[in-house]
Chain A
Amino acid sequence: MERPVKKDFKRPTHINDYPVGPQYEAGHLAETNASWRSVRPVVDNDKCINCLICYMVCPDGTIMKTDGKISVDYDYCKGCGVCAHECPKDAIAMVKEEL
C-alpha cells in the first residue's frame, strides 16, 4: 500500500551491463506515465471508509495510503475512473484536468 520506491536507473556502460535478452528485474520503466489523463480521481477522505475496494480494482496499482489515508499516485494514474465507479461511498470524484 506504500508508494512504490523508484529505483535509480543507471545507463549501461559495458555490453555486459545489459541483461541477456530483454528481461530485467521488475521496476518502473518510466518516471511518469500519465500524460494522457483527462480526468483525475480525487478522494474525499471524510466520506472514505478505507474499505480498499479502489485499491483492489485499480488496473495500474496507483492507489496507496499516505498517513493512513487513501490517496492516488498521479505520476501513473491514467484516469480510467474504475475506482470512482466502484467506490461504495461515492468518495471518489473524477475531476476534469486543467490543461
Chain B
Amino acid sequence: MENLKTNKIFISGDEAVAHGVRLSRPHVIAAYPITPQTITVERLSEMVENGELDSDYMHVESEHSALSAAMGASSVGARTFTATSSQGLLYMVEAMHYASGGRYPIVMMNANRSVALPWSIYGDQRDSLSQLDSGWIQVYVEDAQEALDMMIQAYKIAEHAKVLTPMMVNLDGFILTHTYEMVEIPDQAMVDKFLPVFETPNKMCFENPKNMAFSSQPDDNTEFKYQQNQAMFDAIEVIEQTEKEFGELFGRNYQSMVEEINCDDADAVLVTLGSITGTVRVVMEQLRARGLKVGILKIRYMRPFPEKEIMALSHKIKAIGVIDKDISFGYEGTIFTNVNSALAKSNASIFKKNFIGGLGGRDITKAEIEKMYHDLLAGITSNNQKTVEFFNLKVETND
C-alpha cells in the first residue's frame, strides 16, 4: 500500500539536487553556474522565480564570491546553499577554509569533474579529493535519489550544534548529474518535520553584539583547530543518528559512513566511492553467482573518514582493492592512502591494491572491474603484483 503513495518523477541528478535543496528551504542561495552542475542552479533560480522556493538567490560573479556570500549569510544564521564543480571548486578554496574555520554550516553540491590541464569537462574525483584537508564534511552519492536525500540530511548534519561544519555533497559529473532516473520526491511536511530550523550561536543583534570571524595569535590558534577536528569526529555520531532518523521517516537507509555489500564472508573486497559502486554491484553479483567470494565496501564519507569500519573489515577479508578516480602524482590514489592508513592501524596483513583510472571521464567497464576482482583473489596466494596500477591505459608503457 505504501508504494501507491509514492511521488516519483523522472529527473536528472542535478534536478534531484535542486529538489533536495528546495525541500530544505535555504534562506540564501549563492552560486555560479559551471558544467556539469549548471542544471541544479538553473532549476533553483526557476523555483525562486516562480515562487516555489522562498529564498534569496544571489547572482555572483565567481565561485569565490558565491562561497563568500554564502559565508556572510550563514554567519548570522541563514540556511545557505551553493554548488560548484572542478575549477569552480578550486577557485573557492580560499573561502572553503574560511567557512570551515568559521564553523559556518553551508551546504554545497559538487559535481565531480576533472581538473585542468588538459582541460576536460568530464568526470573524475580529483577536484573534491584534493580538498579533504579543507575542513568540510564530504559525502559521495551513488545515484540521483541518494543525491536528493543527502541534501536534506546534509543540513541536519552540518547545522547540528555539535558539528557546525560545512558539508559538501559530491555526485559524479554527467554519470549522475545528467542521467535521468526515477526519483522519489519526499513530502514537504515530512521534510519540515525531519529538518529543524537552523539555530546559529552567532545571531547578529544589538542586545548581544559579537565580534565575528576574528584573527588569532599563536596562543589560541591550535585550540581552534583542535576544536574543529573534534567537531568532525563528533559528526560521525550525528551522521549515524541522522541516517537512522531519515530511514525511519522516509524508508530509505544508506547505512551511514559506509555501505558493506556481501562483505561478511568475502575473500576480496573492492572499495568504491560514488557512482562506480553501481557497476561494481553488477559485476560482484555475477562473480558471486559463479561462487567467488567477493564484496564491496562503498565509502560514503571521506571526511570524517570511516576508519572504524575499515579496521573492522580488515580482520574479515583476505584482499582489498581501492578504485581511485584520482591520483596524487608521485604517490598513489588518495582514497587508497586513506584506506591504507586505517589498515595499518589495524595491523591487518592482507593483500592490497590500488586501481587508478576513470580519469577525465573515461568509462570503467565491467570487464575491468572483473579483472580487478581476479587480481585481488590471485594476490591472496601470490603477491607479485604492483600495488598501484593505472588499470585502463590504452597504450603500452615503458614499465
Contacts and interface: CB of A to CB of B under 8 A. Distances in A.
Contacts of A22: 101-102, 212-216, 224
Nearest to B165: A21
Given A23-B214, A25-B208, A26-B210, A18 B223 contact: yes
A56 interface: no
Interface of A: 12, 15, 18-27, 29
Given A20-B103, A21-B104, A21-B224, 10 more contacts: A12-B223, A15-B223, A15-B226, A15-B227, A18-B227, A21-B101, A21-B213, A22-B216, A24-B210, A25-B211
B96 to A, nearest CB: 14
A22 B220 CA distance: 10
A24 B214 contact: yes
A23 B224 contact: no
Given A15-B227, A18-B224, A23 B202 contact: yes
B118 interface: no
B164 interface: yes
B327 to A, nearest CB: 34
Nearest to B100: A21
B209 interface: yes
A24 B102 contact: no
B49 to A, nearest CB: 34
B224 A25 contact: no
B227 A23 contact: no
Interface in B284-337: none
A26 B220 contact: no
B223 A20 contact: no
How big is the B interface, by class? 20 to 34
Contacts of B211: 23-27, 29
Interface string B149-188: 0000000000000001000000000000000000000000
A21 B209 contact: no
Nearest to A26: B209
11 contacts: A15-B223, A20-B103, A20-B164, A20-B227, A21-B202, A21-B227, A22-B102, A23-B201, A23-B202, A23-B211, A25-B208
A64 to B, nearest CB: 19
Contact of A21 (B102, B208, B230): B102
What is the interface of chain B mostly: helix, strand, loop, or mixed?
loop
Q: What 6 pairs between A and B have smallest CB-CB spacing?
A: A21-B103, A26-B209, A22-B214, A23-B212, A23-B202, A21-B102
Contacts of B103: 20-21
Contacts of B209: 25-26
Interface in B122-164: 164
Contacts of A20: 103, 164, 201, 227
Interface in B324-379: none
Interface string B221-261: 00110111010000000000000000000000000000000
Contacts of A21: 101-104, 164, 202, 213, 224, 227-228
Contacts of A24: 210-211, 214
Contacts of A15: 223, 226-227, 230
B48 to A, nearest CB: 29
A66 to B, nearest CB: 24
A18 B159 CA distance: 19
A22 B101 CA distance: 8
Contacts of A19: 201
B224 A29 contact: no
A19 B279 CA distance: 46
A1 B88 CA distance: 48
Nearest to B213: A22
B214 A29 contact: yes
Nearest to A12: B223
A98 to B, nearest CB: 30
Q: Which of B209, B214, B216, B228 has the most CB of A within 10 A?
A: B214
A19 B164 CA distance: 12
A19 B228 CA distance: 11
Interface in B86-122: 101-104
A20 B75 CA distance: 12
Contacts of B75: 23
